């Protein structure tokens, strides 16, 4: 299912492959006796047929590839499926090496293929999965016979999801080592359609804002070289045709299942051809491949839509929920938690935490999370990272006593770690100064007064895991927030040979994956939430280990509209950590209504980030209703289809989005009026995602067909003031 193989269509193409999903087709051709692998088509689903005459092979003025005098020009024009370095293709290539002799050219040719049911995993890395009935994989085996190098191109076709994933495996079959200097996971060559590119850019506290820019000649690059996927650039890129909307227009999208440095981009060349690519960033990357060794690239998720951005979003959301997230919490309500960070920062002890828990439990909050400051001598951010031992001067009576007291209140207990970090002022640093990533003899560059542990080293990983797991075994801890609060600098390791120093960044990411894999296997019922200074590591690689990621340290309801909109463009609502916090907001100083804060946080995992013993009584009194709201709507929010209706980031006045159940019987829309208006009492909103034939009941006394609500629209009632919001709940009318 999903992959067809054709032989000898004509003299130009020896072999072709057609990869079909429910709504798309992806076609590959093997041309000429040299076995060059060419891209034929990606787009709306097409019938089986001969595409060989539609690939551009002989158009260049110097003629066909058979003319040896001008092979270079051929490569610079040809639509390569996986372009390589040094052969005359001067566009962005995907793969380059350095041989023992110092050469860098790679010329791949087709050798043979396999089609297998199911999907192989990727060693040491997260990757999507599916049953034999859900996914079929094509492996195109290529060789560079001069280097005796094998390169396998993997294409896994998820038929029902309209998704194709791609990755690459390299095997050194020679008797000499070489270095991989560049390896992307995917490339897409096609004609230009006057594309715009959509990216998700940002910074700390304003992650993943959507930006659309025209694609012009030369390159548009999205890249992180910070050691993590980053606040600044998310590993996502989409190309859209002119005037694309939520429901119309073509979309080509890629997302990288990786949590380290990446590079993605699009290049428009002199022939008006587009090249779109994605993979590990080649900056500071150099991997030694000994004879017989192999290297596997991370996975790229690709999807195409001919029905606008909405279909793209639904493809990504469904795919990640069905084929990447493994947590037992995937289809469960997450406990409503209260985190003490913005409530107390470092100034807390057992008594303070129990006082928060007592009040929170009365209001229906289900979990207390103890954040930074419980370990070592940690009363500020200047020390103790790596010393994962309970500070019993603060946690009086010990951790088990605190957890037991919280459990007696009917609440679960969670805890914060930052396992990848080490403080200069820590027992761990004094015992093992070589365990930090550093350049010998050079003074280290601090960020947040901390260094990064060398997770390329097994001894470091083992020691940190031993300490973390000991804490988790010491008490009934049911949730972990895994944080990372700085990026990587001083790229050196005391455990790597000089010629392997270029492996550090990738080995670091593999080390993070290894520890999270160990954690989730030893504690299978643990709810793990990843975090990196907020949303600095919000990428698909993390979903493999945690069903949710802290979306941003900025919890202001208005700021969160754009942050959550950009995040939800690609990632399911169930993955977005979102809390109600105190006001004035600690990040931006704005005061918004408590009700609005609750409505906006409902679009994520939902929780609280405040001191419930100190907030105004009118806010406290609203919490039980918000708890009921969460329990009433979370199944719908978590499992339904998400629709963008209006963007405050674009209109600068209001925001609206909705979630519709898969069977179209129920929907919930959130409207936020950021700026009040005086010239109209109502605002017309055109709902999306409903069944036009169904009749829906709104507010018990109003009934409309889905057709009317989507075409005529719904009138939002008069809302007085700024930062106000309402929920619009629809259910199919019985009978």
**How far apart are the C-alpha atoms of 334 and 597, rounded to whole Å?**
19
Weakest-pLDDT range from 74-78, 503-507, 680-684 = 680-684
pLDDT confidence of 699, banded at 50, 70, 90?
confident
Whether residue 152 has a cis bond before it, omega within 30° of 0: no
Catalytic residues: 483, 553
Closest to 728 in 3D by CA, of 633, 620, 646, 611: 633
Share of the chain above pLDDT 70, in %: 97
CATH number for the domain formed by residue range(s) 645-732: 2.60.40.1180
**Residue 568: half-sphere exposure toward Cβ, Cα within 13 Å:** 28
Query: Quick check: 76 and 23 in contact, CB under 8 A?
Result: no
pLDDT at site 66? 52
pLDDT at site 61? 56
pLDDT (mean) for 68-97: 91
Closest to 411 in 3D by CA, of 476, 371, 365: 365
**How far apart are the C-alpha atoms of 156 and 115, rounded to whole Å?**
10
| Residue 676 scores a pLDDT above 90 | no
pLDDT at site 117? 97
Closest to 520 in 3D by CA, of 493, 494, 490, 543: 543
| Residue 257 scores a pLDDT above 90 | yes
**How far apart are the C-alpha atoms of 279 and 297, rounded to whole Å?**
8
pLDDT (mean) for 120-146: 97
**How far apart are the C-alpha atoms of 593 and 723, rounded to whole Å?**
7
> Where are the domains positioned within the chain?
3-323, 337-639, 645-732
pLDDT at site 201? 97
| Residue 69 scores a pLDDT above 80 | no
Q: pTM higher than 0.95, yes or no? A: yes
pLDDT (mean) for 191-209: 97
**How far apart are the C-alpha atoms of 124 and 139, rounded to whole Å?**
20
Q: What's the pLDDT tens digit per position in 410-424?
A: 999 999 999 999 999
| CATH architecture for segment(s) 337-639 | Alpha-Beta Barrel (3.20)
Weakest-pLDDT range from 349-358, 403-412, 426-435, 715-724 = 715-724
CATH 3.30.565.10 fits 3-323, yes or no: no
Query: Quick check: 176 and 291 in contact, CB under 8 A?
Result: yes
pLDDT at site 59? 64
| Residue 63 scores a pLDDT above 60 | no
Query: Quick check: 19 and 164 in contact, CB under 8 A?
Result: yes
pLDDT at site 54? 75
pLDDT (mean) for 681-694: 94
pLDDT at site 33? 72
**How far apart are the C-alpha atoms of 513 and 496, rounded to whole Å?**
19
Which has the higher per-residue pLDDT, 50 or 313? Answer: 313
pLDDT confidence of 86, banded at 50, 70, 90?
very high
Which has the higher per-residue pLDDT, 369 or 3? Answer: 369
| Residue 62 scores a pLDDT above 60 | no
Strands 421-422, 337-339: pairing is unpaired
Measured between alpha carbons, how far is residue 121 from residues 99, 156, 166 in Å? 29, 11, 12
pLDDT at site 8? 63
pLDDT at site 295? 98
**How far apart are the C-alpha atoms of 672 and 105, rounded to whole Å?**
56
pLDDT at site 678? 65
pLDDT (mean) for 245-252: 98
| Residue 26 scores a pLDDT above 80 | yes
pLDDT at site 56? 75
Share of the chain above pLDDT 90, in %: 90
| Residue 64 scores a pLDDT above 90 | no
pLDDT (mean) for 464-475: 98
**Residue 281: half-sphere exposure toward Cβ, Cα within 13 Å:** 22
Q: What's the pLDDT tens digit per position in 267-307?
A: 999 999 999 999 999 999 999 999 999 999 999 999 999 99
pLDDT confidence of 452, banded at 50, 70, 90?
very high
Q: Across the chain, what does the average pLDDT equal?
A: 95
Weakest-pLDDT range from 7-16, 195-204, 461-470, 637-646 = 7-16
- Which residues partner with 375 through β-bridges? 390
Query: Quick check: 75 and 57 in contact, CB under 8 A?
Result: no
């Amino acid at each position: 299912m999903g992959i067809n193989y054709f032989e000898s269509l004509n003299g130009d193409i020896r072999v072709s492959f057609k990869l079909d999903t429910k709504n798309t087709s992806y076609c590959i051709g093997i041309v000429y006796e040299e076995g060059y692998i060419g891209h034929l088509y990606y787009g709306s689903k097409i019938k089986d047929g001969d595409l060989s005459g539609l690939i551009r092979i002989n158009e260049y003025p110097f003629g066909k590839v058979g003319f040896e005098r001008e092979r270079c020009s051929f490569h610079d024009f040809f639509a390569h499926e996986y372009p390589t370095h040094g052969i005359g293709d001067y566009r962005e290539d995907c793969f380059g090496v350095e041989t023992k002799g110092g050469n860098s050219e790679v010329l791949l040719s087709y050798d043979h293929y396999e089609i297998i049911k199911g999907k192989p995993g990727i060693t040491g890395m997260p990757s999507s999965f599916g049953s034999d009935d859900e996914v079929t994989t094509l492996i195109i085996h290529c060789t560079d016979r001069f280097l005796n190098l094998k390169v396998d191109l993997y294409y896994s076709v998820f038929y029902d999801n309209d998704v194709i994933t791609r990755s690459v495996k390299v095997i050194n079959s020679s008797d000499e080592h070489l270095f991989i200097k560049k390896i992307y996971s995917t490339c897409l060559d096609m004609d230009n359609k006057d594309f715009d590119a959509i990216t998700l850019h940002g910074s700390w506290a304003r992650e993943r804002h959507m930006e659309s820019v025209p694609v012009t000649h030369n390159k548009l690059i999205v890249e992180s070289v910070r050691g993590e996927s980053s606040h600044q650039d998310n590993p996502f890129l989409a190309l859209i045709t002119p005037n694309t909307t939520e429901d119309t227009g073509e979309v080509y999208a890629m997302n990288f299942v990786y949590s380290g440095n990446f590079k993605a981009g699009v290049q428009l060349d002199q022939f008006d051809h587009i090249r779109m690519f994605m993979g590990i960033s080649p900056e500071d990357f150099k991997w030694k491949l000994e004879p017989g060794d192999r290297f596997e690239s991370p996975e790229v998720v690709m999807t195409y839509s001919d029905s606008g951005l909405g279909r793209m979003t639904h493809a990504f959301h469904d795919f990640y929920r069905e084929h990447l997230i493994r947590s037992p919490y995937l289809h469960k309500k997450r406990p409503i938690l209260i985190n003490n960070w913005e409530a107390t920062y470092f100034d807390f002890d057992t008594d303070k935490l129990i006082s928060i828990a007592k009040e929170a439990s009365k209001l229906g909050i289900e979990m207390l999370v103890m954040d930074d400051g419980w370990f070592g001598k940690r009363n500020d951010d200047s020390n103790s990272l790596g010393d994962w031992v309970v500070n019993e001067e603060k946690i009086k009576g010990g951790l088990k006593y605190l957890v037991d007291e919280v459990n007696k209140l009917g609440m679960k207990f969670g805890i914060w770690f930052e396992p990848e970090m080490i403080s200069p002022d820590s027992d761990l640093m004094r015992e093992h100064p070589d365990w930090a990533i550093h350049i010998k003899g050079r003074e280290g560059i601090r960020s947040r007064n901390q260094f990064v542990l060398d997770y390329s080293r097994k001894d470091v990983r083992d020691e940190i895991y031993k300490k973390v797991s000991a804490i988790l075994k010491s008490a009934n801890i049911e949730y972990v927030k895994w944080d990372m609060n700085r990026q990587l600098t001083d790229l050196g390791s005391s455990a790597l040979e000089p010629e392997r120093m270029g492996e550090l960044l990738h080995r670091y990411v593999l080390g993070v994956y290894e520890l999270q894999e160990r954690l989730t296997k030893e504690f299978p019922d643990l709810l793990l939430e990843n975090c990196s200074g907020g949303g600095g590591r919000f990428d698909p690689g993390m979903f493999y280990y945690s069903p949710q990621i802290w979306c941003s340290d900025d919890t202001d309801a208005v700021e969160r509209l754009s942050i959550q909109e950009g995040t939800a463009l690609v990632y399911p609502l169930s993955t977005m950590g979102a809390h109600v916090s105190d006001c004035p907001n600690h990040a931006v100083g704005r005061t918004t209504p408590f009700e609005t804060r609750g409505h906006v946080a409902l679009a994520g995992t939902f929780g609280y980030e405040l001191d419930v013993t100190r907030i105004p009584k009118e806010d406290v009194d609203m919490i039980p209703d918000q708890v009921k709201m969460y329990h009433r709507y979370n199944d719908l929010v978590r499992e339904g289809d998400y629709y963008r209706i209006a963007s405050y980031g674009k209109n600068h006045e209001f925001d609206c989005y909705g979630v519709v159940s898969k069977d179209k019987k129920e929907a919930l829309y959130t409207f936020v009026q950021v700026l009040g208006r005086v010239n109209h009492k109502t605002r017309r909103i055109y709902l999306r995602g409903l069944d036009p034939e169904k009749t829906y009941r709104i507010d018990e006394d109003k009934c409309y067909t889905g057709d009317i609500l989507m075409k005529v629209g719904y009138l939002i009632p008069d809302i007085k003031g700024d930062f106000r919001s309402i929920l619009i709940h629809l259910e199919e009318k019985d009978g």
